[in-house]
Amino acid sequence: MPKHDTPLLDELEKGPWPSFVTDLKRQAEKKPECWDILGQLELSFKDRITHWKHGGIVGVFGYGGGIVGRYSDVPKQFPGVAHFHTVRLNQPSSKFYSSAKLRDICNLWEKYGSGMTNMHGSTGDLVLLGTKTENLEPLFYELTHDLKQDLGGSGSNLRTPSCCLGKARCEYSCIDTQALCHHLTMHYQDEIHRPAFPYKFKFKFSGCPNDCVAAIARSDFAVIGTWKDDIRIDQAGVKGYLKGDYIPNAGAHSGRDWGKFDIQKEVIDLCPTGCMWMEGDTLKIDNSECTRCMHCINVMPRALRVGKEQGATICVGAKAPILDGAQFATMTIPFIKVDPDNDFEEVIEVIEKIWDWWMEVGKNRERVGETIMRVGLPTFLTVMEITPAPQHIKEPRSNPYVFWGEDEVEGGWERDVKEFRKRNAQ
Amino acid sequence: MGYDPENPMVDRITDIGPPHFEQFFPPVVKKNYGKWLYHEILQPGVLMHKAENGDECYTVRVGAARLISIELIREFCDVADAHCDGYLRWTTRNNVEFMVDSKAKVKPLLDDLAGRGNRMPVGGTGASVSNCVHTQGWIHCHTPATDASGVVKAVMDEIFDYFTSHKLPAQVRIALACCLNMCGAVHASDIAILGVHRKPPMIDHDAISGLCEIPLAVSACPLGAIKPAKATTSSGEEVKSVAVKNERCMFCGNCYTMCPAMPLADPEGDGIAILVGGKVSNSRTYPKFSKMVIPFLPNKPPRWPEVVDAVKNILEVYSKDARKYERVGEWCDRIGWEKFFEKTGIPFTIKSIDDYRLAYDTWRTTTQFKFTSHIK
């Protein structure tokens, strides 16, 4: 495959940010189909439109997801990308790798694909970008036999779960996000590989309410670590911040002179519930008023730690705007145990209750958040056998249109209008 | 042994899942799993995590494109082999992280990275613009309204200084999605760059019978703008097809997703909208959606100058005006949106007033507002 002129893309070799164009050109020296990737992209830059056709169902035997078919609409001009299918590899939890593992993946992709990847796709998969249909089965064979790895999800199935790095390198994590993510990924291999749902379903696991994997914005089932007891205070640490021995917010603001650390202004006044105050140089917290927003802990990590009675809050039903508008996940279970020792049975029970219901009532291409919107949160809570609590709402309803059930009303709904008319004339 | 095309099901292995994460932990991470005490950012891009037993893990964060070659991955592996016992990781925002277990190992690592041209910039921590997450765009997607990698490269080049420093009031998360499907989930980003269409779908009557289920195409439209209709193909044959009420279309592209015979991409019709003020974190305030402040900017490859200028302008006005810790959305809420438009100089247009589902929640139902230059 010859090199194409790419005057527009060449402009993107300039500038301080790493250039994917330079990278593609380097790869093209070994994998000449990359010249055709560049050529077709240059054509898109010129035409200001995509040159990929819609769809194309390809895959490996026995799986209904993990491969996304893609074909060029200018294959004669760019035969190297005539087929350009995506292979989604299920990433290890929180994306730690050894160089040996990555080199194996690179070698496999040098043999069977274009050499280009996404590290990583939006859902979390390690995405191998661009291969031909005839390469899919041999690639899958070597992936499973030699690399002992598997494909991720695509289509109306459980998408590849993902998590923050949790206890591996973060002092805030209240749950073992990686163990949970790995366990559920293994437990639900069938649901990941064989689409049987009304639409996609995403799990994301964040260790604390900072929510670094955007679980509350992006997942149908968000498990977000939290705690029930008191924020742990080290008063010596508080004094360290007051004296200026420790740099606030872990040094996140080091590039500008914001003045001396002011605990009143920077912590106490920014607490959303106003549950903190100073008595002399001792910091006090009324933990019963705390909503665990993380701000004070973020600002003073050497003085404040998350509580010890740890678990998670489960929020359900986030999605991007298509079609009725974006949704954040709705707080459904205020506190749940997340226990590796019982294989996370409490979490699994919740998941399967949601699925049993959604698989029955969810319409084609309806995310669970949309199903909940359609039937209403009260119905969903009832289905889930969850006791409704003020924590489920921002405020009570402002309209009076309650769907009373007949069994809730004294005497039921059956009445005799003739009897009524005897007392109340027309 | 190996794959036998004659017997593809022989020795088949399926459903083995991903490799267990623990085997990829650097020793200092494995040893201190769940035992971390606190962290500090020593300089932009360099973190130190302290364990309860005094162990330290130093992390150097490097920005990378999302679209990267195996050659570059191998180069990242070379760095990991030279400095980090062969371990490395990726963040959720496409950064690469190298971890070492002593401060003495940080400088040689930083020197090595600095010696690799602009391929491995260090930064993306604290009150910075971290790496821009994005979707595929023209490099691989069939529905985009703009490119992704190219726009992101152009934007990150221009605001690079904010990636390698800590001078913003808070972290600023920028994200790009190349169409309204929002694979990039930009609906909760401080600054969101979103590909949008502005022309209704065309109907390929010649192809529709072979490509689409008509009822699915009809039901794909959230506004009921698509109706079944008879049409005549170019060879004069009457076929079952659809008709579109163009004035009802809000250009979501869902019909094209369901029916490949209804393409809507267009060089002039497509472009970019800018949304601001979203956040995911629960810190201080609730998570927030991003709000549309610029309804359309043209697609101008290779460097999208209008988009780059818009992002930089919002970032710099925010940087100057916001208080310490205030995210973009918190700043907007404090000063009021009328002030946001005045301070940024972004023209307010009727397109920023919601007229879709749940729109009423975004209209002002109080006499409280600020007199800005908008009120004559």
DSSP assignment, residue A73?
Answer: S
Partners of A333 in beta bridges: A314
Nearest Cα neighbor of B148 from B175, B181, B111 is B175
Q: What chain A residue is nearest to B257 in terms of C-alpha separation?
A: A54
How far apart, in whole angstroms, are the C-alpha atoms of residue B308 and residue B155? 5
Strand order across the beta sheet in which A221-227 lies? A162-163, A203-206, A221-227, A310-316, A330-336
CB contact under 8 A, A11 and B302: yes
Quick one: pLDDT at residue B29? 98
DSSP B231-250: EE-TTS-EEEEEEE-GGG--
Number of other residues whose CB lies within 10 A of the CB of residue B80: 25
Contacts of A258 in chain B (CB under 8 A): 324
Q: Is B99 on the interface with A (CB under 8 A)?
A: yes
Q: What chain B residue is nearest to A189 in terms of C-alpha separation?
A: B15
CA terminus-to-terminus distance, chain B = 80
CB contact under 8 A, B90 and A294: no
Q: Which of A109, A137, A326 shows the shortest C-beta gap to B70? A: A109
What are the boundaries of each domain within chain A? 7-145, 162-225+312-392, 232-305
Q: Which of A144, A253, A266 shows the shortest C-beta gap to B126? A: A253
Q: Which of A94, A99, A167 shows the shortest C-beta gap to B77? A: A99
Question: β-strand A221-227 against A203-206: which pairing, if any?
Answer: parallel
Contacts of B301 in chain A (CB under 8 A): 8, 44-46, 48
Contacts of A148 in chain B (CB under 8 A): 16, 19
CA atoms within 13 A on the CB side of B352: 17
For B351, the token pair is 């397109």
pLDDT at B5 over 80: yes
pLDDT band at residue B1 under the 50/70/90 scheme: low
How far apart, in whole angstroms, are the C-alpha atoms of residue A351 and residue B293? 38
Helix (H, G, I), strand (E, B) or coil at B321: helix
Q: Which of residues 131-170 of B touch A (CB under 8 A)?
A: 133, 135-144, 147, 149-150, 153-154, 156-158, 160, 163, 165-168
Partners of B174 in beta bridges: B191
Burial status of residue B236 (CB atoms within 10 A of its CB: 0-12, 13-18, 19 or more): exposed
For B220, the token pair is 């794909």
How far apart, in whole angstroms, are the C-alpha atoms of residue A358 and residue A345? 20
Instruction: Among A122, A128, A202, A204, pick the best mutation site for testing chain B contact (most B Cβ within 10 A).
Output: A122
How far apart, in whole angstroms, are the C-alpha atoms of residue B124 and residue B97? 11
For B139, the token pair is 């490099």
Quick one: pLDDT at residue A55? 76
How far apart, in whole angstroms, are the C-alpha atoms of residue B27 and residue A263? 37
Q: What chain A residue is nearest to B299 in terms of C-alpha separation?
A: A48
pLDDT at B185 over 80: no
In single-letter form, the type of residue at position A169 comes to R
Contacts of B323 in chain A (CB under 8 A): none
Contacts of A96 in chain B (CB under 8 A): 21, 24-25, 29, 87-89
Number of other residues whose CB lies within 10 A of the CB of residue A419: 9
Contacts of A252 in chain B (CB under 8 A): 41, 125-127, 166, 171
Quick one: pLDDT at residue A1? 75
How far apart, in whole angstroms, are the C-alpha atoms of residue B189 and residue B176? 9
**E strands present in A267-309:** 276-279, 282-285, 304-305
Burial status of residue B308 (CB atoms within 10 A of its CB: 0-12, 13-18, 19 or more): buried
Quick one: pLDDT at residue B357? 84
Which H or E run contains B193? strand B191-196
Same fold, A7-145 and A232-305: yes
CB contact under 8 A, B34 and A176: yes
Contacts of B143 in chain A (CB under 8 A): 50, 54
CA distances from A80 to A3, A34, B259 (A): 11, 8, 27
Partners of B177 in beta bridges: B194
DSSP A109-166: HHHHS-SEEEES-TTSPEEEE---GGGHHHHHHHHHHTS---B---SSSBPPPEE--G
Contacts of B185 in chain A (CB under 8 A): 122, 214, 217-218, 320
Q: Which of A48, A91, A170 shows the shortest C-beta gap to B301? A: A48
Q: Give the CA diameter of chain A.
A: 95
Contacts of A324 in chain B (CB under 8 A): 222, 357
pLDDT digits (tens, 9 = 90+) for B39-49: 999 999 999 99
Q: Which of B2, B89, B254 shows the shortest C-beta gap to A96? A: B89
Helix (H, G, I), strand (E, B) or coil at B257: helix
For B43, the token pair is 């300089």
Q: Which fold has domain A162-225+312-392?
A: Sulfite Reductase Hemoprotein; domain 1 (3.30.413)
Q: What chain B residue is nearest to A63 in terms of C-alpha separation?
A: B14
Mean of pLDDT values over B195-223? 95
Mean of pLDDT values over B75-99? 98
How many H helices and E strands in chain B? 11, 12
pLDDT at B173 over 90: yes
Q: Out of 3.30.70.20, 3.30.300.20, 3.10.20.30, 3.40.50.720, select the CATH number for domain A232-305.
A: 3.30.70.20
Whether residue A82 contacts residue A75, with contact meaning beta carbons closer than 8 Å, is answered with: yes
Burial status of residue A306 (CB atoms within 10 A of its CB: 0-12, 13-18, 19 or more): buried
DSSP B100-111: ESSGGGHHHHHH
Quick one: pLDDT at residue A56? 78
CB contact under 8 A, A61 and B284: no
Q: What stretches in chain A show pLDDT beneath 70?
A: none
The vertex-A154 CA angle with A151 and A160, nearest 5°, equals 60
Give the sign of the dihedral formed by CA B342, CA B345, CA B347, CA B353: negative
CB contact under 8 A, B69 and A323: no
CB contact under 8 A, A97 and B139: no
For B268, the token pair is 């002039």
pLDDT digits (tens, 9 = 90+) for B307-351: 999 999 999 999 999 999 999 999 999 999 999 999 999 999 999
CB contact under 8 A, B2 and A50: no
Contacts of A33 in chain B (CB under 8 A): none
Q: How far is A168 from chain B (nearest CA, A)?
A: 5
CB contact under 8 A, B150 and A12: yes
Q: Is B6 on the interface with A (CB under 8 A)?
A: no
Burial status of residue A76 (CB atoms within 10 A of its CB: 0-12, 13-18, 19 or more): exposed
Partners of B171 in beta bridges: none
Instruction: Among B20, B33, B59, B72, pick the best mutation site for testing chain A contact (most A Cβ within 10 A).
Output: B72
Alpha helices in chain B (DSSP H): 27-31, 70-83, 106-114, 149-158, 160-163, 205-211, 214-220, 254-258, 305-321, 328-335, 337-344
Q: How far is A356 from chain B (nearest CA, A)?
A: 22
The vertex-B185 CA angle with B179 and B186, nearest 5°, equals 80
Q: Which residue has the tokens 């190992």?
A: B105
The vertex-B6 CA angle with A33 and A142, nearest 5°, equals 50
CB contact under 8 A, A115 and B5: no
Which H or E run contains A46? helix A33-47
Partners of B60 in beta bridges: B46, B98
Q: Report the complex ipTM.
A: 0.96
As a CATH number, domain A7-145 is: 3.30.70.2500
Task: Kindly report the backbone phi and psi dihedral angles of residue A271, in degrees, each rounded to the nearest multiple of 5, phi listed first.
Answer: -65, 125
Contacts of A52 in chain B (CB under 8 A): 138, 140-142
pLDDT digits (tens, 9 = 90+) for B135-167: 999 999 999 999 999 999 999 999 999 999 999
CA distances from A163 to A183, B78, B229 (A): 12, 26, 47
Contacts of B68 in chain A (CB under 8 A): 20, 23, 116-119
